[in-house]
Amino acid sequence: MSEQNKILVINAGSSSIKFQLFNTIDNQFTILCKGLVERIAIKNSNFIIEIANGDKFIKHEVTKDIPNHLAGARVVIDALRQYQVIADFADIKRIGHRMVHGGQKFNSSIIIDDKVIAGIKSCIPLAPLHNPAALEGLSSFQELVSHAKHVAVFDTSFHTTLSEEKYLYSVPYDWYKSYEVRRYGFHGTSYRYILEKLTNILNKPKDKINTIICHLGNGASICAIKNGKSFNTSMGLTPLDGLIMGSRSGIIDPSIHGYMCSVNTETTIETITNDLNKSSGLLGISGHSSDLRDVLASSNDKSHQHHLQSQLAITMFVQRIANYIIQYANDLANNVDALVFTAGIGENSAMIRQLVIEEIKVLNLKLVASKNDDQYNDYLEISDKQSQIPIFKIRTNEELMICHDTYNLLKNI
């Protein structure tokens, strides 16, 4: 007999809770609603819920004070009832939580119990902003929906297949042994989703797929996948490493910390880390925005105060992506089934895709301009037949992946 159930997916950040509710019938998943509680514990907190109605979503928005995650979780649960998305709390039996950092402890998604919570807590030093927020989201929903079973899905777990020479930094080995200093990699849930998609698109088993996936959003990383496993990735100990991002620097010379502290007495390790996370990347170089759409607009507008800086930001952003693709094609011995662009920028910016491909001189990659520009729903191949590697734009869906994991782990319980 087919079983119908609801799965709630929660992504709790330091001042926000993103959520999606899915209906599951056996192995089929339909989104019922999605939404966001934002500015938690900040003035003018905001709540948005979008309820599925055929192919469209009907949006409701409320501004109210939401002092903490527990209050935010209550707003979500109340709204699900108020807008009649669920009839009853009892309908929500399974909740999947996005966890950013699972350190070396978690190599796959897992049903949450006290031991798992202790494990996630022990990873807090590796993700001091992300893991406490996710744990707060978890404890809020555990309190409010106490009958539900909860699952943790980690951004890092996909990359536990990296080999030692890929995950180690060339620092004293004891830093790794005593303090777990190593490359962990992130966006694993997105990479897993795209990999699943590729098995259908390429009609190839997962463990035979070699691909390079560019997850280009506000946070951005690249992953080389060999035989269905993460082989190399650009993010490191934290999500600050690698590509130039919205407001994150990506790779820099590590001496910059010490140098800045020596030349500016107001600078500390904390202020630099903050600046590298929040005031760098596209924002830092362009001087005005971390949002690619703004930076593209100002790079095209000669009268814009930050026109030249914006052009520079785009050039630097694109060059670094291109260099990683070249490096990863070499890592995969030039045996690449697909080059994929995904996430906000990768999915939507034809200009960035075009500039990245133009920047790659050592591989014979060719886009079809009309396909690169085309509207699409799920995925589209955008390369010419002569392209050495087929190129795709694919819409990622991390929430659906979390929903799948939650379903699979709990289906027999």
Catalytic site positions = 155
Q: Give the span between the Cα atoms of 312 and 132, in whole angstroms.
A: 36
For residues 218 and 279, which CB has a smaller minimum distance to ligand AMP in the complex?
218
> Site mask, ligand AMP, residues 207-236, x = CB under 6 A?
----------xx------------------
For residues 245 and 360, which CB has a smaller minimum distance to ligand AMP in the complex?
245
Question: 190-210 burial, b for 16+ CB within 10 Å, e for fewer?
Answer: bbbbbbebbeebbeeeeeebb
Smallest separation (angstroms) from ligand AMP to the CB of 344 = 2
Smallest separation (angstroms) from ligand AMP to the CB of 292 = 4
- For ligand AMP, the binding residues in 333-372 under the rule CB under 6 A are 343-345, 348-349
Smallest separation (angstroms) from ligand AMP to the CB of 300 = 12
In 235-280, where does DSSP find H-type helix?
Answer: 255-263, 269-278
Smallest separation (angstroms) from ligand AMP to the CB of 144 = 27
Smallest separation (angstroms) from ligand AMP to the CB of 186 = 12
Smallest separation (angstroms) from ligand AMP to the CB of 348 = 3
Smallest separation (angstroms) from ligand AMP to the CB of 291 = 4
- Total chain residues near ligand AMP (CB under 6 A): 11
For residues 112 and 382, which CB has a smaller minimum distance to ligand AMP in the complex?
382
The residue whose Cβ lies closest to ligand AMP is 344
Nearest of 67, 347, 77, 85 to residue 217 by alpha carbon:
347
- Beta carbons within 8 Å of 90's beta carbon, 6+ residues apart: 147
For residues 292 and 389, which CB has a smaller minimum distance to ligand AMP in the complex?
292
- For ligand AMP, the binding residues in 243-282 under the rule CB under 6 A are 246
For residues 185 and 246, which CB has a smaller minimum distance to ligand AMP in the complex?
246
Determine which residue in the list 33, 152, 224, 292 makes contact with ligand AMP, applying CB under 6 A. Answer: 292
Determine which residue in the list 50, 275, 291, 359 makes contact with ligand AMP, applying CB under 6 A. Answer: 291
For residues 2 and 370, which CB has a smaller minimum distance to ligand AMP in the complex?
370
Of 78-86, 136-144, 175-183, 286-294: span binding ligand AMP (CB under 6 A): 286-294
Determine which residue in the list 293, 330, 358, 373 makes contact with ligand AMP, applying CB under 6 A. Answer: 293
For residues 218 and 354, which CB has a smaller minimum distance to ligand AMP in the complex?
218
Question: Helix, strand, or coil here: 240?
Answer: coil
Q: Give the span between the Cα atoms of 10 and 18, in whole angstroms.
A: 6
Q: Summarize as ranges the residues that interact with ligand AMP (CB under 6 A).
A: 217-218, 246, 291-293, 343-345, 348-349
